[in-house]
Structures are given as C-alpha cells and as structure tokens.
Chains A and B, each alone.
Chain A
Amino acid sequence: MKVSLNWIKDYVKLPDDMDLKKLAYDLTMSTVEVEDAEELAERFNGIVVGVIKEVLPHPNADKLRVCKTDIGGGEIKDIVCGGSNLEVGQKVAVALPGTFVKWHGEGEPVEIKVSKLRGVESYGMICASTEVGLEDLLPLGGDHEIMNLNAFECEAGDPIAKALSLDDVILEIDNKSMTNRPDLWGHYGIAREIATLYDLPLAEVPAFVPEVEGGIDVRVGDAERCRRFIGTKMEGLYVKESPFEMRTRLWRVGQRPINALVDVTNYVMMATGQPTHAYDSDHIVDFISARMAGEDEKLLLLSGEELELSTDDLVICDRTGPVGLAGVMGGAKDSILPETKDVILEVANFESRGIRRTTQRYDVRTEASSRYEKAVDPERCDLAFNMAMTLYKELYPEMKVVAYSDVYPTPIEKTEINVSLDWLERRLGQTFSNEYIENKLSRMGFGVTIDGDNLKVKVPSWRATGDISERADIMEEIARIYGYDNIQATKITTTFDAAINQLDYDLSRKIKEYLAFRCNMQEVFTYPWMTDKTVEAVLGTTENLLKLSTPPSPTEKFVKGSILPNICDAIVKNERFYSEFGIFEEAQIFQDRDYTSTYDEKEKIPYYTKSIGGAFAAVTSDVTALFRKAKGVIEMMPRYTHMEGFTFRRDVKPAWADNTVWLNIYVGEKLVGNMGLLAKKASMGCGIKNLSAVLFELDFYALVPFKSRTNTFAHLPEFPENNYDISLLFDLDTKWEKIYAEILKKAKSEKLIKRAAFVDEYKGKQVPEGKKSVTIRLVIGSDTKTLTSDEIEKVANTVIRCLEHTAGAQMRTK
C-alpha cells in the first residue's frame, strides 16, 4: 500500500524537521514494514516549467515547430516540438538535457540530449503527460498534445514538482505485514500509529449530521454477511472533475482519478480503509438491498458479460435484481454515468470470509474486497460516512441529502481485557510506568483504567475484529510501541537435569556422514513427489501411492512412496556431466495404507517411514565391481555407524532390480532394505543412457542403533601370523558364502586358522569349462609358537582337503 506523507499530515502534525528515514525505520520496527520511502519530487528532477515565447515553423518538417522557450534564469532556448496544441505564452513542461523520459509514453526511459531534429538543434524536450508519467493526473487531450500547465501558478524555470505541488514522500508498505491490521489500510490508521509513536495529537474527523426526515428503503437480507448498511440519497450532484488536490492525492497512492462523484468514494477508502460505493439513484429501483443471491441469478457486468451467481454470494439488489457483488465489484447497472445527477451512497460492512469466497470464486480482487477480507469493523462506517459526506458537501455546496438510513441490526460488543501489571512485567522482563502504558494505549484508542495491579483495557472497535482479544495482545501493543529492540535482554533461566541422548538422531547423522565422508557419496534433496515416468519405470505400479489434489504439475501427482524413483531422476540429471558418481538421500516416504494415530487419536497419518536410499552410477562394463562397491558400503555401514549388523538374503526380488544382481537386507529376521542393479528396462524407462546403477534403500526406523560404540579389542598376536593364499577351482554356481562357511566350520577344530578372506575370482579360458578359480587368503598362526613353513602348509592343506569334500573344490592343474 502506498501512503502519502502529506495526506498523513492532515491527521497528525509532523514536525517540520522530522527525519523521514527515522519515521520509516520506526514504523518498520513497531508496526508495518516500510519497504521504500520515495521523495516524489525526485521522480521529476530535470523537468521544469517553460514558457513559450515564439512558435516558428520548422524549415524541414511540416508537423514540427521550433519553440523559443523561456526555461527560467533569463534563458530562451530553441526546442523542437510536434505538439498540436502549442501556443505563444503557454506554460509547458520541459525536460532539460540529461533527463530521462518515456519517449511518446512508450518503452524504456531514454535520456534527452541537445541534438538536431531534422536539422534544427533542440535544447531538451517539451513533454506530453504520458512522457513523464503524469497521464493519470493530467490526461492527454489528444494524440499529439503536450501537457498544458496554464492552470497552475508557476513561473518559467520552476521545477515541475513544485509547480504541481508534488513535494511529498510516498511510503511503500508491505501489505503482508498488515494482513492482521484492518485498521491500517487507510491513511488515518497509519496516522494513528505515528501519533502514538511520537506522542502527537491525532486530528478528529468532524461528524456529519444528515438533516433529513425521510429514510431510504435499505434492506439487509443476511445480517451475518452484511452487518451494517448506511444508505444516503443525495440530490443536486453532477459529474465534474474533482479538485486538483484530491486528484493528485489519489494519483500519488496509485489510484486513477475518474470524476468527483467516484473520486470521493476512493478518497474515503484510502483515508479510512472503509470502502464506500456511489450508485446512480436513477438505476436503483424502489429499494436497495444486501441479500444472498438466489438460484440461477445473474449479474450483468460492465463488460457486457453475465456472471452466474452462487447462492453463497452476497449481492446488492434493487427490485429488479442484482446490481453488484457486495464489497467486491459493481455490475453494469450501478455505474456513475456522465449524466448522473442523484446519487445513493453505500457505506456498509460485509463479513470477511464471505467476501473472500466470492473473490476466489470469480478470481477478482479489488481495493474494496482486499480491505473487507481483512475484517473491517462495522463502527468504521461512521468515520467513512462523516468524511464522505463532508467532502461531497465541500465539492457540491448546493447538494441536498434527501434520504438516509442506517441499518445496523447487531452493534458489536465492546471487548474488555484485564491485565495484571505484575504479569506484564514478568513476561516483558522490564517495568513500564503506569503513565507510559496509559499514554500509549490511549493514543491507540484503547480505554485505559489502572487500579492497583490491574490494567483494564477497552478495545477500540477498529482493533476488535480478531486482532486484539486477550492480555497477550495488550502485552504486544506495549512492547512493540516501546520497541522490541529497546527492551533489555535478559538471560535464559531454564535449567535441565538430564543430558540429551537421542540415538535415532545420532544414527541418522552417522549414516549420512558415513555415506558422504567414507563412501564418496553426495547427499541430494529431491521433492516429496515423483514423476509418473519414473514411478512407472522403477516401481512398475502405483498401488498404495498417495496423490496430491493439486499437484505441482499433472505428471507429478504421486507422493514419494519410495526413495528410489527420485534417485533415478537425479542419476538422469547428472549423466550429462559425470560418468561416475554416488548419491544418496534421506527422506520420508508415505503409502496409502496402515493409517495410525500417534499424537491425537482423531488424526490418522498414512504409513510412513524414513528411507535412506542411494546409488552408485558408472559407465562400466564391470557391473560386478560396481555391485561389490555398493555392497561394501552396506556391509560396513553397521560397523562404522554402530548399529545391529546386516545379513543378506535373496527372498523377494525388488521390482526395479536386475534378475540376477540383487539382495534383500536383513537385521535379524526383519527385512530392512534392498539393493541391486537397476534393471535395463527400468533404467531405460527412467531415461538413463549409458550409466549402470546399483541402488539401495534402507528403512531407517527398522535399523537398531547401539547405545554406545561397539568396537572390540583383541590382544595383538605374540607370534607371527602368516598369509597363505590358495587358488582352487569350484563349480560356477558355488557361492562364496558356502566356501566361507566351510572354512569357518573347519577353523573351529583347527585353531591355527585365524581368519580367511576372499581375494578374487576368475572365470574364463584359463580354467576348465563350468569352473571358476577362487583365490582365498588364509591367515595362519599359533598363540604359543612361531610356525615353520611345513606346519603352515599342513594347515593350508587341511583347508584344501576340507573344501574338496564339502564344496567340490579342485586343485588347479598346471
């Protein structure tokens, strides 16, 4: 919202030496966010009044003239101009060289220079109102007309801002910062805040007493939706331009002046925050009514379009039907026309929620509706009525009020709040004198009585529509006016007995740090929804997936039900730039099943878990190696993050996995996750081109953190341990799991076998068909002596013989 400081000065006398920066700052700190404070005159720097002394023909162009123009200081300059209304003696606006103007009112501003126009040098430019942004204030007379300033008292050389009395400061206030303050949506409300901040008197708006006997037939059909309606019929009005001061004020705050009849209503809204509406009395048949629209009722709009109304719309009607959407916009019938004589003024109060529903229904927002939406109080009608009628009387001294009715079925109740001063002090951590509290609250319009410890506050109507209802609100009023920044900071006094121990949080963090710092993976964030394409490719089904009612796009409707589709999307995104990488994400996933209540039995949240998923992606022909890399990450995770260990099984193949390369991950008997190679079909479906990807996902809530670190200590060997590698042939389908189990079994009886490890495997021409060669590293040693090489070999041979019996091992023949 734009606020004119000059306008504010109507209601509160600001000292002449007022520091405007400080005013903007103080308002920001205590009341609303002032985004900008613009010196209006600066917008017109370099544009001065010129007086045309002579108009000469241009030697090279029929439509141009050369004007000898007095630009002040005794300087007469030649200015080339194409204006159709140039006259000797005329006062015009001259943009001096160096000034930026909008050429012909179009495009970006361009700099005016001393330059030749069709061969004649021109010193600056004589401007049209559109060229300096004044078209709303001084409308263009015709296509080629320049701005005529004869009506203004000014002299050659005067800055145009001075000539047009545009010395003002415009504050730009962030509307978001006052959604809770309907009282601030007009200059009077802002003035009240300023008066409070600086202890200045606030001018009262004089009451207007309509001296009339006859009432106007005002009907209120729904007292919930229309809480008050003041209808006033005036005669002896006519359409004319409103005075320059009124027009310029409207223009300064972003409103387009129209004619005096309409301008008054807009002026009053900008001043008080209360919308008002003027109807041509000839268009209103018999009575004026605010009621709910009926079935199949329509409203004819100015555009000629017909709006099909809802029975939830409050409409303004006469005997013949709807003339406007109450508080939102008028229809074709309610407009002020050039021949309008008698006017019915509506000053009414409409309920905020209803207004909001109507604006949403038709997707229209007007200055009026956006104010009603904030919940304007019905008492404010008085202020607006007084101001509007005073203005009409001023502009049309011959005007007569012929009928007046104020329908106000249920006057609002006055809110009273009791606040303990002791409580106030304890909460704010600072003492305020009774005088301070009384002074500030009274200036804001509160009725204040202090009796001992009790502060009794009567809330003014303009703050009583939801803004202020209990003592915390009063505390806020005092604190914000004093300035939060000015209140002395005090130390936090809360103490806690127990140390914080959160195993779940720690485990999640350890896993992420493990993946990032030990496993060379990058954490990513993705959205909580998935694209149809990857859902289809990776999950292969939409069963159990939740959907958004208003998704970000039609193809992103599914709520993340697995972490892997978005991981695959991330692989696609990065494929252009990387041929090898690892990524992971931790996020909540949801499914449309197993609804549970955790906090309130009425609230049922769908199945969810926290999922940690990731991928190793590489352009490689050796997917086995890629799989082993990922498997190593999973295998070592429990050890490095201190949780219950994993075992691997092959029970149910994940939908997205390659037929051969996959594993189920277990903690004890509980399935906690899966890993595997992304199947070719799924990979192509996602749009992955050359990368192979091994994916994993873990159900975080199924992981079991240990309460403390779990590393174990073993004594260092007293006698040397020896590495002894053996290479044996096995059938291709013999698994290492089997071989390793047999060695461990053997180690139970043969204590000299300390450990065994997989070294590598070989398949190919060097070994017989149907066989593979597996190299195993045995660690052989004794706790009591140094073994001889014969003894070591003997142990190795027992292992070989054991594997020959139990796992079908064969020695490699040379």
Chain B
Amino acid sequence: MKEKLEALLRDGIPRINGAKNEAELQEIKGSLLGKQGSVTLLMKEMSKLPAEERPAAGQLINKAKNELSELIDARREELKLKASEVSADFDWSVPGLPPMSGGLHPIIQMCYDLNDAFRSLGFEIFEATDISSEYYSFDNLNFPPNHPARESMDTYWIEGHDKGEAWEKLCLRPHLTGDSVRYLQSHKPPYRFVYPGRVYRNETTDARHERAFYQYEALIVDKDFTFTAGKVMIQTILSKVFGREVKIRMRSGFFPFVEPGYEIDMECLVCGGKGCSVCKQVGWIEVMPGGTPHPNVLRAAGLDPDEYTGFYVNIGLDRLVMMRYGVDDVRLFNSADLRFLEQFR
C-alpha cells in the first residue's frame, strides 16, 4: 500500500508541475483524484486491508490526497498568472493603427531644417512681401536698365502699376535678393540673416521649370569679412541638412548683384560624384548662386562698400528637395495633390 502510494506520488507530482495549461491540469486531477482516479481507487482498495491497518493507511492516503490537491491548486494559480488573455493564434503581423497626422509641405520641411541650422549659427529670419517694385527688384540690385528680366516676358507685372518710375512699377517679386536690401536698410550692421520665400517668373512650365518656386537667401554683411568664410558656412549648412558630409565647389558665375559672383555646386548625392542621369553625368549639381554683395547693392542699402563686405547665397529649395527625394517633376510642389504631399510626412 505504502509503496503503491509512494509510486503514485513519484509519478503524479512531476505530472502536475509539468502541466502546460488548465485543461491538462484538470485531466491530471481527474486521473488522480477523480472518481476513477488512482488515489480514489487506492481508497477503495483500503477496505481489503486488515482492520488494524486501515486507520494508518487512511491517514497516509488522505495526506497524499491533500498534498496532491494543494499542488494542483498551486499549479493552477501559477498557470493562471502565466496565461495570456488572448488565444495563442494571435496574429502579431497585422499592421498597427497609425496615429492621425497631416504634414507640412516638403519644401517647408526643408525650409525649417535650414532655418534651424541657420538659427543655430545666429541668423535672423526675414520676411517681406510677394509684391515688390521694380526699384527693389532690379534697380537696387545693379541690374542694368535693359536687363531682360525687367521685361514682361520674364516678370509678372501688376496691371495698372506697370508703367512709370521704378518705384511705381509693381510686380510679383522675381527673386528675393531685392528684398534683402529692405532688411539692410531697416537694420543696423553687421547683418546675419536668412530670407526664405516664394518668387515668380513668367515662364512656360515643364518638369524642370515652374512659375512659382521657393528661394532661400542667406546674407552676411560685416567689415573685412573674407568671402571664403562663406564656403565654410555653406558646407556646414548643407552637411547639417543632408545629415552627411557634402562636398561643394565654387566656380565663376555672373549675377548683377554680386562681385565676385560664383555658382556653388554640390556633389551629386545620387551617384556620389560618379555621374548619373540626375546630375547629367557631371557628378555635380548646381544648387545656388553666391557671391559678395556688389558695391552698388551695398550703396543702395546706405553702406560704404569700402568699409563693408559680405557673403550671399541663394538656394533654390525646389531643386534641393527634388534631389533629397528624387522627385522628377517640379510642378508637383504646387499641385496641392495629396497623393504626392502625403509621401513626405
């Protein structure tokens, strides 16, 4: 009897502790303590024992029965805590619910990235009006009187304000540079500011040409400022925006409002300078004109060009954003097409 009982415990205890779930445990409980359970059957066998052995045997069996019951309860508690609230066939691969969110225009995103970078260098952010006069758009900028940009073919003039003196002629500003003079006139040197804004040209549009595009101008004016300092600035800013070292080169270029003037090229990020379709096999992409403000521009701002000099760049954001994402049609930026804009959240 005793041996049978011990054998039963030796076998039963590991089974209880090894039960993997509630159902299995219930089955084990049945097989031990149920009506046909092995412990119950042992109880029944007790009647066959001599009367004097029965009390001791009864005690032993009850003890074993209690021990098993306790073990089963303990195991049940343990299984309960371990168990998941969800059935095991839970599909973890179903996509999560996205947070509701809109987005900023990809050009504004780039603009803000640049603003953050320039502000960290102590630049102020300037803003002026989309409508400007010929005076600020051209005259102050040293554009000769016969410059083609002054013609209606290239600039949007405002009806009823398209004749007369330069300050009476109003247009949608064709570039930002003229408005920079506004800043110079209304602030005290030294200057360090950026000027983001949209500009407008009367052009035929195609995948590479737009009538409205976003420029980003940065200007430093100070005494005895070497223009190569600007190179450091541009490199710093572009590397910050693109998140990696960006190689640039400066080559000769002409713009009426700078002297010297240069084109700043950036190594093509698509091919790493090896040449590809994006950079037309050149390895470099023209990203911005730059230069030292022309003495006449400084004079227009009331500064003595012998005393002051500076550094200027004008970044075309549309092109920079196109390069950032590989966008191949500039017109998408003004399309208000959500299928396009949603990609940049």
A-side interface residues toward B, CB under 8 Å?
28-33, 177-181, 352-353, 356, 360, 423, 426-430, 466, 470, 472-473, 475-476, 479-480, 484-485, 487-494, 496, 500, 502, 504-505, 509, 512-513, 515-517, 519-528, 546-552, 557, 559, 566, 569-570, 573-574, 577-578, 581-583, 587-588, 590, 592, 598-600, 602-606, 608
Quick one: which of B119, B158, B165, B167 contacts A500, CB cutoff 8 A?
B119
CB-based contact A489/B231 at 8 Å? yes
Task: Looking at the assembled complex, report how far the CB atom of B129 sits from the nearest CB atom of chain A, in whole angstroms.
Answer: 5
CB-based contact A489/B228 at 8 Å? yes
Q: How extensive is the interface on chain B, given as a class? A: 35 or more
Task: Looking at the assembled complex, report how far the CB atom of A446 sits from the nearest CB atom of chain B, in whole angstroms.
Answer: 16
User: Which chain B positions have C-beta within 8 A of A516?
Assistant: 101-104
12 contacts between A and B (CB under 8 A): A30-B251, A31-B252, A353-B145, A476-B259, A480-B262, A494-B225, A502-B125, A528-B200, A550-B152, A588-B131, A599-B136, A602-B135
Contact with A along B212-240 (1 / 0, CB 8 A): 10000000101011111111110000000
From residue 154 to 207 of chain B, which have CB atoms closer than 8 A to chain A?
Answer: 156-160, 162, 165, 167-168, 170, 172, 182, 185-186, 190, 192, 198, 200, 202
User: Which chain A positions have C-beta within 8 A of B145?
Assistant: 353
Quick one: which of B119, B146, B158, B252 contacts A353, CB cutoff 8 A?
B146
Least CB separation from A425: chain B residue: B226
CB-based contact B260/A502 at 8 Å? no
User: Which chain A positions have C-beta within 8 A of B233?
Assistant: 492
CB-based contact B251/A29 at 8 Å? yes
CB-based contact A525/B103 at 8 Å? no
User: Which chain A positions have C-beta within 8 A of B107?
Assistant: 525
CB-based contact A549/B227 at 8 Å? no
Least CB separation from B309: chain A residue: A427
Contact with A along B88-131 (1 / 0, CB 8 A): 00000000000011111101100010010001011111010111
CB-based contact B228/A487 at 8 Å? yes
User: Which chain A positions have C-beta within 8 A of B58?
Assistant: none
- Give the CA-CA distance A522 to B103 in the complex, in Å: 5
CB-based contact B152/A525 at 8 Å? no
Among B17-25, B33-41, B332-340, the stretch in contact with A: B332-340
Task: Looking at the assembled complex, report how far the CB atom of B166 sits from the nearest CB atom of chain A, in whole angstroms.
Answer: 9
Least CB separation from B342: chain A residue: A522
User: Which chain A positions have C-beta within 8 A of B306?
Assistant: 423
Quick one: which of A181, A427, A496, A515 contacts B224, CB cutoff 8 A?
A427
CB-based contact B232/A490 at 8 Å? yes
CB-based contact B125/A505 at 8 Å? yes
CB-based contact B133/A513 at 8 Å? no
B314 at interface by CB-CB < 8 Å:
no
CB-based contact B135/A577 at 8 Å? no
- Give the CA-CA distance A30 to B250 in the complex, in Å: 9
User: Which chain A positions have C-beta within 8 A of B151?
Assistant: 360
User: Which chain B positions have C-beta within 8 A of A500?
Assistant: 119, 122-125
CB-based contact B202/A550 at 8 Å? yes
CB-based contact A523/B156 at 8 Å? no
CB-based contact B336/A569 at 8 Å? yes
Q: Among B230, B250, B305, which residue has the most Cβ atoms of chain A within 10 A?
A: B250
Task: Looking at the assembled complex, report how far the CB atom of A483 sits from the nearest CB atom of chain B, in whole angstroms.
Answer: 8
6 closest Cβ pairs, A-B complex = A429-B226, A476-B260, A570-B336, A484-B250, A353-B146, A524-B336
User: Which chain A positions have C-beta within 8 A of B211?
Assistant: 527, 552
Known: A490-B226, A606-B131. A549 touches B157 (CB 8 A): yes
Known: A29-B249, A490-B226, A603-B167. A583 touches B159 (CB 8 A): no
Task: Looking at the assembled complex, report how far the CB atom of A629 sits from the nearest CB atom of chain B, in whole angstroms.
Answer: 12
User: Which chain A positions have C-beta within 8 A of B172?
Assistant: 528, 548, 559
- Give the CA-CA distance A47 to B140 in the complex, in Å: 57
User: Which chain B positions have C-beta within 8 A of A605?
Assistant: 129, 131-133, 170
Besides the contacts A29-B251, A513-B104, A525-B333, what 16 more A-B pairs have beta carbons closer than 8 Å? A29-B249, A33-B263, A472-B295, A488-B228, A489-B228, A492-B230, A504-B127, A520-B101, A522-B102, A549-B162, A550-B152, A550-B157, A559-B172, A574-B337, A604-B168, A605-B133
CB-based contact A526/B334 at 8 Å? yes
Least CB separation from B189: chain A residue: A494
User: Which chain B positions have C-beta within 8 A of A588?
Assistant: 129-131
Quick one: which of A178, A476, A592, A603 contacts B133, CB cutoff 8 A?
A603
Quick one: which of B170, B212, B309 contacts A527, CB cutoff 8 A?
B212
CB-based contact A428/B226 at 8 Å? yes
User: Which chain A positions have C-beta within 8 A of B220?
Assistant: 492, 494
From residue 286 to 309 of chain B, which have CB atoms closer than 8 A to chain A?
Answer: 292, 294-295, 305-306, 309
Task: Looking at the assembled complex, report how far the CB atom of B47 sits from the nearest CB atom of chain A, in whole angstroms.
Answer: 63
User: Which chain A positions have C-beta within 8 A of B131?
Assistant: 546, 559, 588, 590, 605-606, 608
- Give the CA-CA distance A485 to B133 in the complex, in Å: 36
- Give the CA-CA distance A482 to B163 in the complex, in Å: 44
CB-based contact A426/B226 at 8 Å? yes
User: Which chain A positions have C-beta within 8 A of B252?
Assistant: 29-32, 480, 484
Task: Looking at the assembled complex, report how far the CB atom of B168 sits from the nearest CB atom of chain A, in whole angstroms.
Answer: 8
Q: Among B159, B190, B251, B335, which residue has the most Cβ atoms of chain A within 10 A?
A: B251
Least CB separation from B145: chain A residue: A353
Least CB separation from B338: chain A residue: A574
User: Which chain A positions have C-beta within 8 A of B294?
Assistant: 472
CB-based contact B157/A573 at 8 Å? no
User: Which chain A positions have C-beta within 8 A of B325?
Assistant: none
CB-based contact A429/B336 at 8 Å? no
